[in-house]
Chain A
Amino acid sequence: MSAGTERAVTWADVNKDVERTVSMPGNTYFAWMCVVALTLAAGVVAWTFQIYTGMGAAGKRTPQMWAMYITTFVFWIGIGHAGTLISAVLYLFRAKWRTSIYRGAEAMTVFAVMTAGLFPLIHAGRMWFAYWLTPYPNQRYLWPNFKSPLVWDVFAISTYLTISVVFFIVGLVPDVAALRDRSTGIKRKIFAVIAMGWEGSDTQWKHYRRGYGLLAALATPLVLSVHSVVSFDFAMALVPGWHSTLFAPFFVDGAIFSGFAMVLVLILPMRYYFNWYPYITDKHLDAMAKLTLVTSLVLTYFYACEVFTAWYSGDHFERASVFAKATKQYAWAYWTMYFCNSVVPLILFWKKARTNVVILYIVSILVLIGMWFERFNIIVPGLGHDFYPYTWGTYVPTITDSTIIVGSFAWFFILFLGFIRVMPSLSIVEVKEVLPHPLKHAVHGAHQGGGH
């Protein structure tokens, strides 16, 4: 019973407040869209150029045969996790405060995974054969190597994308139905299609609720498995600093951490522009900030573990690798990571900071930067100083790969910005659910708030 205490919000208000967002946007919006679209175009051009000239266009080399693409791939996959966590895990825990943010978070998940999914393609030396990683019947009886972590990725990520999309759409149906009933013309027709003739009859609700719960139950282990599998790309390899049993939990935690930062980065402006203060209150921000803080602390613990095990193992390669990361050519990236991920979030111990929009926003941005560098530090310096001194080397980014990376952010935002103006980015049903149910006789007050 958290939301809607500031001003008495009725169920009808909820519908109105959401309907407002699904209408012809103003110029600022289009201005932003142009910027994003141009950036995306630049990225596309860069990718085309890379396909034409070869992977040499990106700064990869021996020993860094992987670099910023895989870094950003892991980054985006990580972002996705917070969405699923909020929509599925917190749903199972019946955490009421999730209701007003989960739709945005879920959209973020879907689009983040869609962005991440581009990178294996961008990264492949012969992307036109990337489909060979999927098991499809062919007359030559060629199959992928199911022992390869990359094939695990294919399965994990495609499953994750499918389930997220399904979960997302299922959640949308009743809300779209609500929009349908209050719109006219072409808009109504489109909504009608998506709403699939939803009426909110008891039978529909019954199966819907059951199904939704089961999906949440499935999505929860899935979200944990996906980033574990992504971490196997590294943990299964021999490279010092990669070959570690720590990686699965380490990656999952990092993912949630960065995900929450991204949610804040997206939700705060939405709250401002859509005037959703009644729905997204300080309590929400506080809760999110707390989770960010916790995940940050856990992450710091993992960082410590990483260094400790390297030292304690007594393994020369591991020690040299860590030492090189901290002191050699990439030291700046290493310490940036520590500052952004372990130091900055500590400010959230301070209650005022947890509800101060400006501070929260800055922290979130820094966390995103820090988390990108975390993956960078695993991959680039890790490979740059591995077993064989002859080939130690420094990776230098090129205009091409940098442009593609920036383009991937544009791709994400074009999807997200598009979504929030055509679909209910606030869950009408679930917000209503946690509002006081309309009652004639106050004696039933005990029953307020459907979900417990």
Chain B
Amino acid sequence: MSGIDRRSFFRIVAASGAATAAAGCGQTAEKLYPYVSPPENIVPGVAAHFATVCRECPVGCGVVAKNRDGRVVKLEGNPDHPVNAGALCIAGHSALQGVYHPDRFRGAMVDGKFAPWESAEKIVADKLGALVKARQGGRIAVVTGLETGTVAKLMDEWVKALGARPRIAYEPLALEAMRAANRATFGRDAIAHYAIEEASYLVSFGADFLETWLSPVGHAAAFAKMHALSAGKAGTFVHVEPRLSMTAANADRWVRNAPGTEAPLALAMLKVIVDEGLVAPGVDARALAGAVQGVDVAAVATQSGVPAETIKGVAHDLAASKSGLVLGGGAAVSGGNATDMLQAINLLNVAIGALGKRMRFGGDVARPSSYADMVALTQAMAKGEIEVLILGDVNPVYTMPPKAGFYEALAKVPMVVSLANRPSETTGKAHVILPALHWLESWGDHVAEAGVVGLMQPAMGPVEIAGKPVDGRSLGGIFLNLARLALGLTAEPGKGLFQTPTFADVVKAEWGAMAKDYGKGKPVAEFWEESLRRGGVWREAPGPAVSVRPEGLRVKAEAARLEGDGTHALLVYPSSRFYDGRFADRAWLQEAPDTMTQIAWDGWAELPTETAKRLGVGRGDLVTLVSPHGRVDLPAYPVDSLHPAAVAVAMGQGHAYPGTYAQSRGFNTGANPVTLLGPGPEAASGALPYLAVKVAVAKGTGRRSLAIPQATFDQDHREIAQHIGLGAARELELRGKPPEHASHPSMYPPVKYPDHRWGMTVDLDRCTGCQACVVACVTENNVPVVGREQVAYGRDQHWLRLERWEEGTPARPRNIFLPMFCQHCGVAPCEPVCPVYAAYHTREGLNGQVYNRCVGTRYCGNNCPYHVRRFNWFYYDWPSPLDLQLNPDVTVRQLGVMEKCTMCLQRIIEGKDRARDAGRKIKDGDIRTACQQTCPTQAITFGDLKDDGAQASKLSRSPRSYHVLEELGTRPAVTYLKKVTRDEGNPAGGGHKA
């Protein structure tokens, strides 16, 4: 761990003291700010950091919440956490827009009207009590999202105690097929850990591991370790998918296969490996041979549209690499044969000797239930077998196919209780709403993976809306109290689980028990305190060794069957921004454009160019997709890269209830592709097959032009995003000679920098285009949300934009992602044109912008060749309580002034202050900008260019370094490192990591 991590560790305080302890059980009435007498660990004006666990998606990354004056203003990854190691994804950052969501329920509701919490609670408890007394507990059903650790345990105890139906942990993207496949192949009902960082040759069958698959942040970091050029070594990544996803765009070689042909392809590769005796030593080749008897590579080639040479080539390199790894099973490619596909992939991993090395099984941990369970429950509801349905923060009405009939079945349930804290399609049908507090306001813990237990503590009290804190309870607290009321118990410490006074106590007790196991005999109190500071406990938890079971060798080599007689296979893929749609009401995510299409604020249907031509539709023209189960109308987005027999639609848009904030800014467009799917689960795994239907594509009526800030993906030979072949890059690195930068003679003496010259480097070889930096910047710098119309008209306010530049051919596209922000030029064109010195050069090499002085001539905006300056065209507002999130260290810009990236000036100042307080000179790594801090692949580095030892100045002298539009002589302080491309014709690109 670098120095910064240890320091941040000490800055992280454990939640104790009035504010947060009270917040834990949600009973706080105290104001969040201003403090008359500040609680001990909240010093006005000084940030307190609380370590907790991000519960936005099922992964459970460790986060550190920055609390200023009682309210959380920023989330950052917990540097010590093994899953995300300090990084955080866009969704994680947007959690702040969840806790400060303008539509949050202010308190309990009964039949759509606000009611005192106790009375609402009583209505539910009475009903439950009656059912329990009548031995009718079976008519109670509980559906939550994936919950683990103490709260899961509590809820399951609760279910037992009341004799209710087993709780369903419903996750629309539960990857049931992976567990089914692992059951079949290895007899383990678990999801393996894939050590991507240890691989030198990575093949992915539609696993969008940089977007949503398993643990994207962790995977991105691992991918950078494995793939980015360092010390002359760089691994190779081959991605197989019909659509050019963001993950595919990061591949050295993207293999475009016919939709649903992953299983045959995997087996074909296995066959090649087996036939040519490339099976790793110590693996039973004969057994594998049995598995691929029927497979005919040539046939697969024609079926999948992937040339036999490609199949062979990839198989060769994979086996030859000695440290290969195969991933598979993204939702987009999970059809009715998902389990077969993943079994085949398992066998591939066995064949190349990845099993037990780069593919490992840890101990079992709680996993979501399968979609089939939801279907079963729905049927029970429809039959009227359910009296009380308790729904956690889930939205089945939106995420389940309508034909599954959940919506209709809800009407048959006499009492639907929702614990969600903001409106959704589902809460609309709830009779009673008991809003659970946001995870930033609650106690709890979460098991990310075997041996990694994150501890959650409230980082703030319940958020105040209109001067009144929202009336909610932590999820655990709600169940605790319901149990007491239903079973007629009282709160008495030490009298069993349900009588523990607060849920916080339950968690404490739970961790007390863990102390001897994890704490190596530390006193409980100390272990607790330390875990709170660290954000949890983690250790290696190796599971039992696994081996291939005979039945695991029986794999069907069929392609996925698609329902319907449409012309195109429908690819429904999880959105890298909205996941399954749960984040769609967050304006930050809506405004951050989708990396591949650069579309903001909208849904679209990705069409193959040929199809678009045939239908005579252009970008933005509406097209109608009709499946046997439904129809949607969407603006077309024609692309060359998509497989000609497919159309692709991302999940997440087209909500009936998008939330007032997003709505007021142009949202509520797009459509939900799940409505096109059939209700039937996959037999083998019980998963909902997302690759299941063919759709008929027709020209719709009218058009809805898409909001796309990037005018063109073609660089027009301007060498904005540059790349270099692996061979050349390696050679340069060996020579270690920095490239000549063009010299621009000046009639003025060079500018002197007495103390520092701040600068940045961006390694394009590491950037995966995940957009985390964009939203991190928005969060840190109070960047307003301008809405759909304004983004479409080139008035987005993002200080940092993530550009995608396209090269190569449709068959072998090359995409370079380039984060662009103020280049802080040494000879800045924007400065001398400002008539009032609002733009000027600071003594530390920053391109300063004095908002108060700006008159708004916008001359600087014209003269900036990078167009990274943003003008306040209108008044931009933050509807309450979103204004509580504003960073107090950063000015909110007023109407009519120019603004732009400041290299997080406030962080520079803070860093210098901290160094001064510690009575030492500032060190490299003391200061990290928001974008750098959150980057999972560490593509961005900030530092003092005057300090030769600084990482940033080292990198800026790299042989791959260049400046964007260098010929203009602006001498930027931001240096880019060329992306390293694998030499054509040699996908392996030579040299693997040992």
Which residues of A are interface residues toward B (Cβ below 8 A)? 53-56, 60-63, 65-66, 120, 123-127, 129-130, 132-133, 142-145, 147-151, 154, 233, 236-239, 316-317, 320, 383, 386-393, 396
The binding surface of chain B is classed by DSSP as loop
Residues of A within 8 A of B870 (CB): 62
B795 touches A389 (CB 8 A): no
B711 touches A62 (CB 8 A): no
Chain B min CB distance to A240 (Å): 9
| 5 residue pairs, one from A and one from B, having the closest CB atoms | A125-B856, A125-B896, A56-B873, A65-B858, A65-B861
Could you list 21 A-B pairs, sorted by A, with CB under 8 Å? A54-B896, A62-B794, A62-B861, A63-B861, A63-B862, A65-B862, A120-B857, A125-B896, A127-B856, A132-B836, A143-B837, A145-B835, A147-B832, A148-B833, A148-B834, A148-B835, A237-B829, A238-B863, A317-B718, A389-B711, A390-B711
Query: Bound state CA distance, A149 and B866, in angstroms?
Result: 21
Chain B min CB distance to A126 (Å): 4
A391 touches B794 (CB 8 A): yes
* Candidate in A53, A130, A238, A320 with the most chain B CB atoms within 10 angstroms: A238
Chain B min CB distance to A383 (Å): 6
B865 touches A145 (CB 8 A): no
A391 touches B867 (CB 8 A): yes
Interface string of B832-863 (1 = CB under 8 A from A): 11111100000000000000011111110111
Given A125-B857, A390-B820, also A145-B836 (CB < 8 A): yes
Query: Which of B794, B837, B865, B897 touches A125 (beta carbons < 8 Å)?
Result: B897
Residues of B within 8 A of A392 (CB): 711-712
B872 touches A145 (CB 8 A): no
Given A239-B862, A390-B801, also A132-B872 (CB < 8 A): no
Chain A min CB distance to B816 (Å): 13
A66 touches B801 (CB 8 A): no
B:858-909 near A, CB below 8 Å: 858-859, 861-863, 865-867, 869-875, 895-898
B859 touches A150 (CB 8 A): yes
A61 touches B795 (CB 8 A): yes
Chain B min CB distance to A363 (Å): 34
B794 touches A61 (CB 8 A): yes
Query: Which of A61, A126, A239, A388 touches B856 (beta carbons < 8 Å)?
Result: A126
Query: Bound state CA distance, A361 and B820, in angstroms?
Result: 52
Known: A61-B793, A132-B835. 11 other contacts (CB 8 A): A54-B874, A60-B873, A62-B869, A66-B859, A125-B895, A125-B898, A126-B896, A132-B836, A387-B718, A388-B865, A391-B711
* Candidate in B714, B793, B854, B874 with the most chain A CB atoms within 10 angstroms: B793
How many residues of chain B get a CB closer than 8 Å to chain A's CBs? Answer: 50
* Minimum CB distance partner of A234 in chain B: B862
Chain A min CB distance to B328 (Å): 35
* Minimum CB distance partner of A320 in chain B: B716
B720 touches A133 (CB 8 A): no
* Candidate in B715, B832, B833 with the most chain A CB atoms within 10 angstroms: B833
A63 touches B873 (CB 8 A): no
Query: Which of B715, B856, B857, B865 touches A238 (beta carbons < 8 Å)?
Result: B865
* Minimum CB distance partner of B870 in chain A: A62
Query: Which of A142, A144, A150 touches B833 (beta carbons < 8 Å)?
Result: A150
Query: Which of A126, A129, A145, A396 touches B837 (beta carbons < 8 Å)?
Result: A145
Q: B7 interface residue, CB < 8 Å from A?
A: no
Residues of B within 8 A of A60 (CB): 858, 871, 873
Interface string of B502-517 (1 = CB under 8 A from A): 0000000000000000
Query: Which of B717, B872, B895 touches A316 (beta carbons < 8 Å)?
Result: B717
Given A54-B873, A54-B874, A65-B871, also A124-B836 (CB < 8 A): no
* Minimum CB distance partner of B965 in chain A: A387
Query: Which of A126, A386, A389 touches B895 (beta carbons < 8 Å)?
Result: A126
Residues of A within 8 A of B794 (CB): 61-63, 391, 393
* Minimum CB distance partner of B852 in chain A: A129
Query: Bound state CA distance, A129 and B852, in angstroms?
Result: 10
B712 touches A389 (CB 8 A): yes
Residues of B within 8 A of A316 (CB): 717-718
Chain B min CB distance to A61 (Å): 4
A388 touches B833 (CB 8 A): no
Q: B710 interface residue, CB < 8 Å from A?
A: yes
B:795-834 near A, CB below 8 Å: 795, 801, 803, 820, 829, 832-834
Query: Bound state CA distance, A143 and B838, in angstroms?
Result: 11
Residues of A within 8 A of B728 (CB): none
A62 touches B803 (CB 8 A): no
B862 touches A125 (CB 8 A): no
Residues of A within 8 A of B866 (CB): 387-388
B:744-794 near A, CB below 8 Å: 790, 793-794
Q: B18 interface residue, CB < 8 Å from A?
A: no
Chain A min CB distance to B721 (Å): 10
Query: Bound state CA distance, A56 and B876, in angstroms?
Result: 11
* Minimum CB distance partner of B801 in chain A: A390
* Minimum CB distance partner of A237 in chain B: B863
Q: B287 interface residue, CB < 8 Å from A?
A: no
A62 touches B829 (CB 8 A): no
Given A144-B835, A389-B711, A390-B710, also A55-B865 (CB < 8 A): no
A148 touches B867 (CB 8 A): no
Residues of B within 8 A of A149 (CB): 833, 859
Residues of B within 8 A of A132 (CB): 835-836, 853, 855
* Minimum CB distance partner of B833 in chain A: A148
Chain A min CB distance to B782 (Å): 18
Q: B541 interface residue, CB < 8 Å from A?
A: no
Residues of B within 8 A of A396 (CB): 793
Chain A min CB distance to B490 (Å): 60
Chain A min CB distance to B775 (Å): 19
Residues of A within 8 A of B875 (CB): 54
Chain B min CB distance to A309 (Å): 17
Query: Bound state CA distance, A112 and B836, in angstroms?
Result: 26
Residues of A within 8 A of B873 (CB): 54-56, 60-61
B865 touches A124 (CB 8 A): no
* Minimum CB distance partner of B820 in chain A: A390
Q: B489 interface residue, CB < 8 Å from A?
A: no
Chain B min CB distance to A315 (Å): 9
Residues of A within 8 A of B709 (CB): 390-391
Chain A min CB distance to B952 (Å): 24
Given A55-B873, A126-B855, A126-B896, also A238-B829 (CB < 8 A): yes
B897 touches A133 (CB 8 A): no
* Minimum CB distance partner of A147 in chain B: B832
Q: B298 interface residue, CB < 8 Å from A?
A: no
Q: B968 interface residue, CB < 8 Å from A?
A: yes
Given A55-B896, A56-B873, A56-B874, also A124-B712 (CB < 8 A): no
A239 touches B863 (CB 8 A): yes
Residues of A within 8 A of B857 (CB): 120, 123-125, 150
Interface string of B696-721 (1 = CB under 8 A from A): 00000000000001111011111010
A55 touches B856 (CB 8 A): yes
Chain A min CB distance to B840 (Å): 8
Given A62-B794, A65-B871, A124-B855, also A133-B716 (CB < 8 A): no
Residues of B within 8 A of A386 (CB): 865
* Minimum CB distance partner of B875 in chain A: A54
Query: Bound state CA distance, A383 and B861, in angstroms?
Result: 10
Query: Bound state CA distance, A63 and B861, in angstroms?
Result: 8
Query: Bound state CA distance, A97 and B711, in angstroms?
Result: 55
Query: Bound state CA distance, A386 and B718, in angstroms?
Result: 11
Query: Bound state CA distance, A396 and B792, in angstroms?
Result: 12
B718 touches A389 (CB 8 A): yes
Given A54-B874, A390-B820, also A125-B858 (CB < 8 A): yes
A66 touches B858 (CB 8 A): yes
Chain A min CB distance to B522 (Å): 54
Query: Bound state CA distance, A132 and B852, in angstroms?
Result: 12
Query: Bound state CA distance, A56 and B720, in angstroms?
Result: 29
* Candidate in A53, A60, A154 with the most chain B CB atoms within 10 angstroms: A60
Residues of B within 8 A of A130 (CB): 855
Query: Bound state CA distance, A449 and B499, in angstroms?
Result: 118
Query: Bound state CA distance, A54 and B895, in angstroms?
Result: 7
